C-alpha cells in the first residue's frame, strides 16, 4: 500500500483525507493508495520527518504550524516555495524530497477562470495565506498590490519583503482596490464569524472580493460585498484548486473540479453546489 497523508496540529477538522481518498477512488487507485491524517505537534516534527524518509511516504500535505519549519527537512524547495517562504506539499523526484506551495495555484486559478484582471489589489492580513496571495498576485501581473494588517509592524515587514505598498489598517478603505483579498481569520466559524475585515460602507460594485475563509461558505464579508453589487470569489475555491494541484503532483492525474466541488459542498455545508 502506497501511503500519503497530512501533518499539522491540530487536524480534527481537516478535509484533506476526504479529498484525496475520493480522488484515489475516482481514478481506481484506492486499492494501492491511502491518505491519512497524522496530527504532529511542533516538537515532534523532526522525528516524524525521519520516519517519513524511512517508510517511505510518497506524498505529504503540510498545514499549520509546519509550513515554514518543513523547509528545513527537505532536499529541494521549488521556486514558488521559496517565494512564499512556506510549503504545503512534499513529493519525491529522482530520489530527492521536494517541497512546493500549491496554495499559489489554488489562489490564482479561480481568478483566471473568472477572467478577473485587477488593476490594484489590497491583501488584508499578514500570515501564510497572505504570503501565498501576494506571490499569486505578482504571478498574475497585477500592476499595483498593497498589504495591510491589524499589526502595523507585521504589515510593514511583509511589505518590505515583497517590495509592496503598506496601507495602515485604519486607512484600508482609502486604497483604490479593484480586488480585495481577505487573508485574515475574520469571518471564520467561531468567535470571528460575524466579523468582516472591511468597512461595509466602503464596498463598491466595481470591486471583486476574494475571501480565503471557506467556512462558512458565505462569510459576513462575502454577504456584504454581494449586497453592495461586488463580485465575490468564495474561499472554498482556493482550497479546491490547491488540492487538485497537490493530487496532480503526486499522481499525474487531474481531479475534475466540478465533481470535487460537489463533494466539498456536501461535506462542509450539507448541500450540493
Residue 13 has a pLDDT of: 87
- Structural domain boundaries, residue 200: 105-234
Distance CA 270, CA 273 (A): 10
Q: Which residues are catalytic?
A: 67
Count Cβ atoms below 10 Å from residue 43 Cβ, excluding itself: 8
- Please state the pTM of the whole predicted model: 0.95
Sign of torsion over alpha carbons 238, 240, 241, 243: positive
Q: Does residue 55 sit in the same domain as residue 170?
A: no
62 and 16 together in one domain: yes
Look up the CATH number of the domain holding residue 198. Answer: 3.40.50.720
- 43 and 94 housed in the same domain: yes
- Give pLDDT tens digits for 27-43: 999 999 999 999 999 99
> What distance in Å separates the CA atoms of residue 55 and residue 211, rounded to the nearest whole number?
38
Number of alpha helices (DSSP H) and beta strands (DSSP E) in the chain: 9, 12
Residue 271: pLDDT above 80? no
Identify whether residues 23 and 87 lie together within a single domain.
yes
Q: What are the CA-CA distances from residue 188 to residues 1, 156, 195, 203 (Å)? A: 37, 25, 8, 20
Radius of gyration of the chain from its Cα atoms, rounded to whole angstroms: 19
Place of cell 486559478: 109
Residues 172 and 243 in one domain: no
**What is the pLDDT at residue 273?**
52
> Do 27 and 131 share a domain, yes or no?
no
Amino acid at each position: 500500500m502506497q501511503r500519503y497523508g497530512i501533518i499539522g496540529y491540530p487536524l480534527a477538522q481537516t478535509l484533506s483525507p476526504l479529498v484525496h481518498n475520493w480522488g484515489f477512488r475516482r481514478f481506481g487507485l484506492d486499492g494501492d493508495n491511502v491518505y491519512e491524517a497524522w496530527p504532529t505537534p511542533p516538537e515532534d516534527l523532526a522525528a516524524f520527518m525521519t520516519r517519513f524518509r524511512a517508510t517511505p511516504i510518497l506524498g505529504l500535505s503540510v498545514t499549520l504550524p509546519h509550513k515554514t519549519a518543513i523547509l528545513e527537512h527537505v532536499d529541494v524547495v521549488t521556486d514558488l516555495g521559496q517565494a512564499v517562504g512556506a510549503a504545503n506539499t512534499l513529493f519525491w523526484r529522482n530520489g530527492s524530497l521536494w517541497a512546493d506551495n500549491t496554495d499559489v495555484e489554488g489562489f490564482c486559478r479561480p481568478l483566471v477562470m473568472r477572467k478577473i484582471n485587477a488593476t490594484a489589489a489590497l491583501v488584508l492580513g499578514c500570515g501564510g495565506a497572505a504570503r501565498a496571495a501576494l506571490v499569486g498576485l505578482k504571478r498574475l501581473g497585477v500592476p499595483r498590490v498593497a498589504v495591510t494588517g491589524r499589526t502595523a509592524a507585521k504589515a510593514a515587514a511583509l511589505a518590505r519583503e515583497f517590495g509592496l505598498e503598506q496601507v495602515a489598517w485604519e486607512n484600508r478603505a482609502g486604497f483604490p482596490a479593484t480586488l480585495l483579498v481577505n487573508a485574515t481569520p475574520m469571518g471564520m466559524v467561531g468567535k470571528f464569524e460575524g466579523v468582516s475585515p472591511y468597512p461595509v460602507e466602503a464596498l463598491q460594485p466595481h470591486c471583486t472580493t476574494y475571501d480565503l475563509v471557506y467556512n462558512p461558505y458565505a462569510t459576513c464579508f462575502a454577504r456584504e460585498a454581494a449586497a453592495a453589487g461586488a463580485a465575490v470569489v468564495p474561499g472554498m475555491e482556493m482550497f479546491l484548486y490547491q488540492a487538485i494541484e497537490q493530487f496532480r503532483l503526486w499522481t499525474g492525474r487531474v481531479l475534475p473540479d466540478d465533481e470535487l466541488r460537489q463533494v466539498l459542498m456536501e461535506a462542509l455545508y450539507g448541500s450540493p453546489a
